[in-house]
Amino acid sequence: MIEQHLSLLLVVIPLIAAPVTAMLPGRRLPWLFTLSVTWVCLLLASWQLSVVMNGSVISYELGGWAPPWGIEYRIDAMNALVAFIVAAIAAVTLPYALRSVEKEIPEYQTSLFYAAILLCLVGLLGIVQTGDVFNLFVFLEISSLSSYVLIAMGKQRRALTAAYQYLIMGTIGATFLLIGIGLIYAETGTLNMLDLNQRLQPIMEHRTVHTGFAFIVVGIALKLALFPLHLWLPNAYTYSPSVISVFLAATATKVAVYIMLRMVFTVFSSSLVVLTSYMFLVLGIVGVILPSISAIFQTDAKRLLAYSSIAQISYMVLGMGFASVLGLTATLVHVFNHALMKGALFMAIGAIVYRVGSSRLENFQGLGRQMPWTFSAILIAGLSLIGIPGTAGFISKWYLVLAALEQQSWLITGVILLGSLLAVIYVWKIVEIMFFRPVPETVIEVREAPASLLIPTWVLVSANLFFGFNTELTVDVAGTAVRLLGVTAP
């Protein structure tokens, strides 16, 4: 019975758990409950992934209404892969949350904080599971609204302005998406993704469809923090509580990449892909270089990583720009691997914030010797970010370079390598300050971070190493997913 309702339970369990969490008292109880829910979700997500890994498709009709009239949850390898990433990151973040949240969130807000995390999880999983574009919009807003709240929980007052800025830009993005959905609904009279695909084919040249497409792409690009629409991202990641930085950096933008892939390749496909291709390539090239350069000049570790995130997102966008099998595989693999490395990096920085109380680089001096485990986590995840062979980051860069070479695009190959070079500089900046600077004499002794923070960090770090050798899960599943997307270009 569970297998039949698998894809639905993945969304409904956290949905039911969220209001329950909001009613639980104290600090430990809401945490323990949320933790168990996320682990159940991870279990269901891996089960779902194992079912669709071979290329089969799960279809679930909500309320017993057959598609295309009712809402359909339609799971293929791509949905399952992204759902697995989201659930896995949530399951790894929650053990980390206990100590970190105790320090950063007042007790009377704790249960609501965990409820908001669960709602955010509901939204992200719902986006991934659903096969209905309006349902997708609703889940997008659920995840966005809860992430605005979570970001505003940051300790500094700038968290408030960051959340406000994100709220304004995020709402504009979501409303653009809504306009686009409305326009294509007016043309076709359906909201089901597959049905839309078929009904849009004969009328692809209509101006309404083009307008709707433009609104949808720009709307998602805002959520995706695609350069130059990334302005909300650095502040949002910098000032939010450590746990939220980890969770959002590793999931939110990845899910937005998924929406973009779904919309462009499943809903519209065919002739309109060409229109976005050039845009994605140009924005990807600029977006790899400029944010990487900005990252080098940052004085705050979290902000540095946020800019690096924008650059990494641009890699995924480059892969979409190729619109080829290899390019999209690279995008999906990078979605997976980037979640691992950014998750690990933000966790390690969060562990330092836990001990030092600040994420400014000037306070990091000499910490490498006092917090060796945290430091080596940053080092390895940083190497993965650069793309050193043996780490997960190398795999995605490798496929991206292959995709670029396949199209004989030397410029883009050069840009990818330059991006890695710039990554060397900003990762070195953190390493140099932490390891080679002497400890300032005014600073009191700093101890290594507690185990409850270190273990989740190291789980992600080892995942970085594991997926650097074992590409079965990432590359094969991504390949199946791309095949199901129906990309025809080589």
Partner 1 sequence: MIDIIFGHYNYWIVVVLMMAGFYTVISRGNLIKKIAGINIFQTSVFLLYISIGYVEKGTAPIIAEGYTVYSNPLPHVLILTAIVVGVATTALGLALVVRIKEAYGTIEEDEIHDQDMSL
Partner 2 sequence: MKHNLILRLIAKFLFPVIALFAFYVQFHGDYGPGGGFQAGVILSVAFIFYALVYGLKTTEEILPPHVLRLLASSGVLIYAGTGVVSLLMGENFLDYDPLSSEPAAGQHLGILVIELGVGITVSSVMLMIFYAFAGRGQP
Query: Per-residue DSSP letters for 275-312?
Result: HHHHHHHHHHHHHHHHHHHHHHT-SBHHHHHHHHHHHH
Tell me the closest approach of the beta carbon of residue 327 to partner 2, in angstroms: 37
Q: H or E element: which one contains 397? A: helix 392-406
- From the list 16, 186, 293, 451, which residue makes contact with partner 2 (rule: CB under 8 A)? 16
- From the list 3, 19, 208, 405, which residue makes contact with partner 2 (rule: CB under 8 A)? 19
Of these partners, partner 2, partner 1, none, which one is at the site of residue 418 (CB under 5 to 8 Å by kind)? none
Are the CB atoms for 461 and 341 separated by under 8 Å?
A: no
Tell me the closest approach of the beta carbon of residue 185 to partner 1, in angstroms: 7
Could you give the C-alpha distances from 151 to 11, 23, 242, in angstroms and in order? 23, 22, 10
Tell me the closest approach of the beta carbon of residue 45 to partner 2, in angstroms: 17
- From the list 11, 44, 145, 225, which residue makes contact with partner 1 (rule: CB under 8 A)? 145
- From the list 25, 55, 182, 372, which residue makes contact with partner 1 (rule: CB under 8 A)? 182
Are the CB atoms for 415 and 285 separated by under 8 Å?
A: yes
Give the whole-angstrom CA distance, residue 430 versus residue 348: 12
Task: Kindly report the length of the chain.
Answer: 490
| Residue 15 touching partner 2 (CB under 8 A) | yes
Residue with the two structure tokens 């000049």: 297
Of 220, 217, 200, which Cα lies nearest the Cα of 209?
200
Return the number of other C-beta atoms located less than 10 Å from residue 342's C-beta. Answer: 29
Of these partners, partner 2, partner 1, none, which one is at the site of residue 62 (CB under 5 to 8 Å by kind)? partner 2
Give the whole-angstrom CA distance, residue 58 versus residue 55: 10
| Residue 164 touching partner 1 (CB under 8 A) | yes
Point out which span in 58-66, 93-101, 140-148, 412-420 binds partner 2 (CB under 8 A). 58-66
- From the list 54, 63, 441, 447, which residue makes contact with partner 2 (rule: CB under 8 A)? 63
Q: H or E element: which one contains 73? A: strand 72-75
Packed helices 301-322 and 232-239: angle between N→C axes, nearest 10 degrees: 140
State CA 127 to chain mean position distance: 12
Of 37, 39, 47, 231, which Cα lies nearest the Cα of 118?
37
Binding to partner 2 (CB under 8 A) within 158-177 occurs at none
Point out which span in 55-63, 252-260, 304-312, 477-485 binds partner 2 (CB under 8 A). 55-63
Give the whole-angstrom CA distance, residue 381 versus residue 346: 10
CB nearer partner 2, residue 18 or residue 200: 18
Tell me the closest approach of the beta carbon of residue 22 to partner 2, in angstroms: 5
- From the list 45, 150, 167, 216, which residue makes contact with partner 1 (rule: CB under 8 A)? 167
- From the list 31, 33, 60, 176, which residue makes contact with partner 2 (rule: CB under 8 A)? 60
User: Strand, coil or helix: what is 69?
Assistant: coil
Are the CB atoms for 79 and 128 separated by under 8 Å?
A: yes
Tell me the closest approach of the beta carbon of residue 181 to partner 1, in angstroms: 9
Give the whole-angstrom CA distance, residue 200 versus residue 204: 6
Give the whole-angstrom CA distance, residue 90 versus residue 37: 10
| Residue 157 touching partner 2 (CB under 8 A) | no
Of 428, 343, 321, which Cα lies nearest the Cα of 393?
343
| Residue 83 touching partner 1 (CB under 8 A) | no
Tell me the closest approach of the beta carbon of residue 329 to partner 1, in angstroms: 35
| Residue 194 touching partner 1 (CB under 8 A) | no
| Residue 196 touching partner 1 (CB under 8 A) | no
- From the list 40, 160, 356, 446, which residue makes contact with partner 1 (rule: CB under 8 A)? 160
| Residue 70 touching partner 1 (CB under 8 A) | no
Point out which span in 1-9, 78-86, 172-180, 465-473 binds partner 2 (CB under 8 A). 1-9
CB nearer partner 2, residue 23 or residue 444: 23
Longest dimension (CA), the chain: 72
| Residue 138 touching partner 1 (CB under 8 A) | yes
- From the list 40, 53, 61, 289, which residue makes contact with partner 2 (rule: CB under 8 A)? 61
Packed helices 133-152 and 110-129: angle between N→C axes, nearest 10 degrees: 150
Of these partners, partner 2, partner 1, none, which one is at the site of residue 158 (CB under 5 to 8 Å by kind)? partner 1
Q: List contacts with partner 1 (CB under 8 A).
A: 134, 137-138, 141, 145, 148-149, 152, 157-158, 160-161, 163-164, 167-168, 171-172, 174-175, 178-179, 182, 185-186
